[in-house]
A = this chain, B = another copy of it.
């Protein structure tokens, strides 16, 4: 692109210095309105676009925000990322993605080599509870950090109350008369250690106990948040006896898999078994899944805003807990008197 229009061209055309042209185009307030107009006109005429690289380099900012995520091609994460990205793009910031979920080795490398160093102005950590050593590594960066789902140190965080939300789900089943309630957890991914997963299991147990029901360990099966694991988990539950009358799946995607298993086994929902999920995935409504609804796009937007606030030094509230609610659909019903 040897023929790209440079800021110098704009400055010359407008009859001002490089410095003034730069200030005018960035909207700095120390430029006379008339001057600004001339510069803007020249820039438009010449079709000038600033070099991202050059201006980032000169200003010692990267204009990029790093996102450390376990997965990007899962419903929850893709929604969060899209919405955070839109929030950041308004301020000219790029989102650069780092997937560290899959392998321990990948994660270790990320935190030792710190590829984000000198590469991003701030960092978002999504649903990854960090170890002490990892937190220490991040502090070395000396850049703002915000997290989603799980608090990391004192960094600002946006999340939901997983324990309370899961409690709502289990209590809904209990209120419908169920006592034989199984759970499909997300705990198979122990290495990632999503806190939300643990919180949901704990809520399940606490809520049962509070209702005077002893949680039966045979009615807990661990999935990994995928539909396939939900399918498999439900098949395991259906091979046991006695059968539960209701199942709480810790994510909608697992619930969808469970739905498949139930159909293959000739079990009707909710007539033979009630099923409740967690998330309010967009398929939950068409598939009539009762679930705990959480505001995913809003979490993404707020995460973006937390980062923005820190970069501009106007950091506000630090631990934002968003509300969830029960979306009652057809997949849960009153327990039949048996």
Contact = CB atoms under 8 A, between A and B. Distances in A.
Interface of A: 1, 4, 49-54, 56-57, 60, 62, 72-73, 78-79, 81-82, 85-86, 94-97, 99, 113-115, 117-119, 142, 226-228, 230-231, 253, 256-257, 259-261, 263-264, 282-283, 285-288, 330
A264 B286 CA distance: 9
A53 B57 contact: yes
A332 to B, nearest CB: 15
Contact of A286 (B50, B81, B230): B230
A97 B93 CA distance: 11
Considering residues A54, A62, A72, A73, which has the most beta carbons from chain B within 10 angstroms of its beta carbon?
A73
B282 A260 contact: no
A303 to B, nearest CB: 15
B85 A78 contact: no
Given A79-B73, A97-B95, A50 B261 contact: no
Given A81-B72, A99-B82, A263-B288, A283 B227 contact: yes
10 contacts: A1-B142, A50-B118, A53-B62, A72-B82, A73-B82, A231-B285, A256-B283, A256-B287, A257-B283, A263-B287
